[in-house]
Amino acid sequence: MYVINVNDREDSKIESYPYKGNPLEVQDVWIRWLSQVGPEGNAEYGLRFFTIGPGGSIPIHNHLYYQTMYILSGRLSVISYDIKTDEKIEEKIMGPNDLVFIPTMEPHSMKNLSDTENATFLCCIANVFEEDSV
């Protein structure tokens, strides 16, 4: 058994995120790993606490793991994109107690809609170990 308090972990600022081989700028986003299981520091499973500052955003990206996000505070725009063309497919406005599931390799982005308040969410990931490129 592993028991911690969320405040026992430190935030790390995310500066960029790769998409199709290019690093894209992340704006005012912080991650706090709450749990992480996997060989050599690679998360097979993990629970993360994210903070997105006012107007902050995570650009279009995708990844091999499944991802479920549970919104704790604030309002977020979450966009999914076509995997071949990167054209916007759908945009959802999310708030506290909303949940979104992102399948493996689905391009998506997030933006905090507030200019004055942080948005926070929990993010659970589970790796599927495919050989597709990100």
Proportion of the chain above pLDDT 90, given as a percent? 82
pLDDT of residue 22: 95
Residue 128 has a pLDDT of 66
Domain boundaries, the chain: 9-126
How many helices (H) and strands (E) the chain has is answered by 0, 9
Interatomic CA distance for residues 80 and 60, integer angstroms: 8
pLDDT grade for 2, boundaries at 50, 70 and 90: confident
Q: What is the pLDDT of residues 78-128, one digit of tens each?
A: 999 999 999 999 999 999 999 999 999 999 999 999 999 999 999 999 986
The structure's pTM equals: 0.89
Mean pLDDT over each residue of the chain, to the nearest integer: 92
9-126: CATH, from 3.30.565.10, 2.102.10.10, 1.10.1740.10, 2.60.120.10:
2.60.120.10
